[in-house]
Amino acid sequence: MRDKILELLKSNESYLSGEDISRRMDVSRTAIWKHIQALKQEGYDIESHPRLGYRLRQIPDRLLPEEIRPRLNTVKIGRGGIHYFSEVASTNNEAKKLAAAGCAEGTIVLAEAQNGGRGRLSRGWFSPFARGIWLSVVLRPPFSPQEAPKCTMMAAVAVNRAIRRVAGIESGIKWPNDILCGGKKLVGILTEMSAEMDAINHIVIGIGMNVNIAPEDFPPDLAPIATSLAAEAGKPVSRLELLAAVLAELDKIYQHATAYGFGEVLQRWRQESVTLGQEVTVLGVSKQFSGLAVDIDEDGALLVKTPDGIEKVLAGDVSIRPKQ
C-alpha cells in the first residue's frame, strides 16, 4: 500500500487529493493520511495542503526499501527480502540471525549506520550515518564448504565493477577482501559461513563501502589509509545508484558461478587485482615472510614467490601489506 502511494506521488508533479488517492487505492482517507505520515517519518518531504492534497517535494538520501525495489535488476539478490535499519551494531550479525531462522536466499540487510561494524580478524569498520553502504547478503549456494572463500573474491569482482561503472574511478582488488584506489581502502568485504561437513547452510557476505565520506571526516588513524568514492571522483556519488549496480553485478556473477563454477570469477579477479605482481609481506600468526605475489590458485589462495620457493597463503590467517 505505502509503495503504491509513493508511486502515485512520484508520478505526479502537482498535488494529489487525499480523496483521489483513497479512490485509486480503494481505502479510506484516514488510511491514506496514516501512510503519508509514515513516509514523512522516513524522510520523504511531502507537502500537505488542506484543499489541494499532497505533493512529493524531495526524496531522502536514504537506502529505503521503497527506493531500492524499483531499482532491482536481479534474479535473486534482494528478492528474498530487504531489511532496513537506521542504525544497527552489525548488518552481518542481523543477516546471520535471519539466515539461521530460515530466511530466503537473496535476503539483504542494510543500515544507514553501524556502531559495531567489523572487518576481517575482528578489526573495526568506520560506518557513519548515510555516507556509505553497509550491506549484508544471505546466500545458500550449492558449493562445497571448501569453496566458500571464493565467495569473497566473487563479491570483490562484482563490487569493483559496480564502482568503476557508477563512479568512473580506477579501483582495484587487494587480496583477499579489500578494494583500493590510489593505495587507500574504499571497500572491505567480510564473508561468514554456517556449514556441515559436506554442505553449506548459508553464507553471509558483508560489504562496507565508503561512499560520500569527506577526507577530513575519517578518524585520525584511518585518514592515511582510507578514502571514499566521493573523494576520488571529486563529487558526491548516488548511494542508491551504486547499491543497485552492486546488487545487479553480484546477482549476475553469482548466477554464473552456481551454473559454471568459479573459473571466470578467478580470471576476472586476476585482471582487476592490485596485489599480483607486487612485493608483499605476509604477516601470519606464527610466520612472517616477504616475496612477490605471482598468482592465485584454483582455491583462491595467494601464491607468493620467495627465495625458498612458492608459499601458499590462505585467506583468513594473514594480513598483506606492501613490502617496505
Query: 200 near 194, Cβ under 8 Å?
Result: yes
Grid coordinates standing for 124? 573495526
pLDDT of 105 higher than 80: yes
116 vs 127: which has the higher pLDDT: 127
DSSP letter string over 19-39? HHHHHHHTS-HHHHHHHHHHH
Say which residue the cell 571514499 belongs to: 228
pLDDT at site 79: 94
pTM of this structure: 0.84
Quick: pLDDT tens for 75-90. Answer: 999 999 999 999 999 9
Q: Count of alpha carbons within 13 Å of 51, Cβ hemisphere only?
A: 0
pLDDT of 324 higher than 60: no
Q: Count of alpha carbons within 13 Å of 122, Cβ hemisphere only?
A: 0
What is the length of the chain?
324
- Cα of 93 vs its chain's centroid, Å: 15
Quick: pLDDT tens for 41-62. Answer: 777 788 888 888 888 887 777 8
Partners of 208 in beta bridges:
134, 188
pLDDT of 315 higher than 70: no
Quick: pLDDT tens for 17-46. Answer: 878 888 888 888 888 888 888 888 777 788
Quick: pLDDT tens for 251-291. Answer: 999 999 999 999 999 999 999 999 999 999 888 767 788 89
Quote the Cα angle for 248-199-161, to 5°: 20
Quick: pLDDT tens for 199-219. Answer: 999 999 999 999 999 999 999
Closest CA to 188 of 197, 171, 176, 196: 176
**Average pLDDT for residues 137-157, to the nearest whole number?**
94
pLDDT at site 141: 95
Tell me whether the omega of the peptide bond preceding residue 176 falls within 30 degrees of 0, making it cis: yes
Q: What would you measure as the largest C-alpha separation in the chain, in angstroms?
A: 82
pLDDT at site 36: 84
78 secondary structure, DSSP code = T
pLDDT of 125 higher than 90: no
Backbone angles phi, psi at 177, to 5 degrees: -145, 15
pLDDT at site 121: 46
pLDDT at site 48: 84
- Is residue 9 classed as helix, strand or coil in its secondary structure? helix
Q: Dihedral of the CA atoms 212, 213, 214, 219 (nearest 10)?
A: 180
Grid coordinates standing for 19? 480523496
Quick: pLDDT tens for 291-308. Answer: 999 999 999 999 999 999
Grid coordinates standing for 62? 536514504
